[in-house]
Amino acid sequence: MIKREIYIKKIKPFINKELIKVLIGQRRVGKSEMLKLVANEIKKTTQDANFIFIDKEEYEFDYMRNHTQLMEYIKTQQTEKMNYLFIDEIQEIDGFERVLRSLYKKNNFDIYCTGSNAKLLSGDFATYLSGRQIVFQIGSLNFTEFCSFHQLQANNDSLLKYLKFGGLPYLMHLPENENIRFEYLNNIYSTILFRDIIKKHQIRDPRFLTDLIRFLADNTGGVFSANRISKYLKHQKINKNVALILNYLSFVEDAYFINRVKRIDIQGKKQFDIGEKYYFEDIGLRNATVGFKMQDIGKIMENAVYLHLRNLGYDLKIAYWGDNEIDFMGIKNNEKIYVQVAYLLTDEKTIKREFGNLLKIKDNYPKFVVSFDNFSASNTYKGIKHYTLLEFLTEFN
């Protein structure tokens, strides 16, 4: 196994602490392997420990459907010494929160679980375990991890592979063949679509759902309005109301397949309820829905920058004031950054637009422009720093 230090560093301080560790995220991003990595960290410092692993995607645990069966199994595996309980895809077990609450009260259980649906953190779970859990969102590989997993040098050739195939960890085991890799990605997309969205929410119009996801992929980073889409569909003789569109979007978001970023007026500090943007949790899965096209490279770059900033812990908004827009305003530890993304800075008009919008913001927080190409020897423009995308994904932290 290859360590994913970005997450190990976050989880390690909470080992043996009286909190249930919940790892959430899209299917196949590596949550199961993270549980194994955490177990390895525990083994380094704890010799006398009992490990209980329950993986709901393994056949031997297929029978386990409810909290009673879960508790009965744990009783057969527990000991008087410290028990480290790992449950993968825990949302597949009805009433699991009752078991976790019971075990939480014991002083010889340290509990870790994973889930692939945001509803895991709501409903009965929130009622039973409020204040007793800490949540870690696990994402697909970032670019540095991608290079490590695939044993590649961090250069523009590797970056283009990352922008094409994304960061699902299992890709490292597949031949470097575009057809094979996209066949795998399409299978993962179909699994998420059916198991985590269509089946779970009893979707009555799966064709419209797939059309909606393709629309989001085609318009990655574009301002989205459910009302506008509804009107567009009516023009195409397809009658879908706004409420249905919003429901379908929430289902896709709950499966961690897409991420919503809201707009904020940075002058009036008002957050807009409409006109948000959507980015995909994995770039490869985005490309699997509509194909990889070089004319979409700007959209894909913006998605990659979003994921990098999100994984660094920034709360992200789209910054607006008047007719001006900044791709990302990131907030962390009460500090802000502003990031603008452009494919190429090859003409003066583009340079003035991308840097000019940032120059209009009169606060003193850091401001950056990210593009695929090199900009200047100094990598600055009137005090605003420029990064190539390669530099940003490997150096900005």
Is it the case that residue 273 has pLDDT exceeding 60?
no
| Residues 6+ away with beta carbon under 8 Å from 269 | none
Is it the case that residue 263 has pLDDT exceeding 80?
yes
Q: Sketch the domain layout of the chain as residue ranges.
A: 5-137, 143-395
Q: Which pLDDT score is estimated for 226?
A: 83
Is it the case that residue 90 has pLDDT exceeding 90?
yes
**For 322-378, how does the pLDDT look when each residue is reduced to its tens digit (9 = 90+)?**
788 999 999 999 999 999 999 999 999 999 999 999 999 989 999 999 999 998 878
Nearest CA among 261, 126, 115, 134 for reference residue 200 = 115
* Dist CA 249 CA 226 (whole Å): 9
Is it the case that residue 187 has pLDDT exceeding 80?
yes
Is it the case that residue 194 has pLDDT exceeding 80?
yes
Q: Which pLDDT score is estimated for 343?
A: 96
Q: What is the mean pLDDT of residues 172-195?
A: 97
Q: Which pLDDT score is estimated for 267?
A: 74
**For 230-246, how does the pLDDT look when each residue is reduced to its tens digit (9 = 90+)?**
877 787 777 888 889 99
3-class SS at 289? helix
Q: What is the mean pLDDT of residues 36-56?
A: 94
Q: Which pLDDT score is estimated for 48?
A: 86
* Dist CA 133 CA 125 (whole Å): 10
Q: What is the mean pLDDT of residues 115-120?
A: 86
CB burial string 95-126: b at 16+ within 10 A, e below: ebbbbbbebbeeeebbbbbbbbbbebeeeebe
Architecture of the domain defined by 5-137: 3-Layer(aba) Sandwich (3.40)
Q: What is the mean pLDDT of the chain?
A: 93
pLDDT band of residue 269 (cuts 50, 70, 90) is: low
Q: Read off the pTM.
A: 0.93
Beta-bridge partner residues of 94: 66
Cβ-contact 94, 58 below 8 angstroms: no
Q: Which pLDDT score is estimated for 302?
A: 98
Alpha-carbon 293 to chain mean position: 22
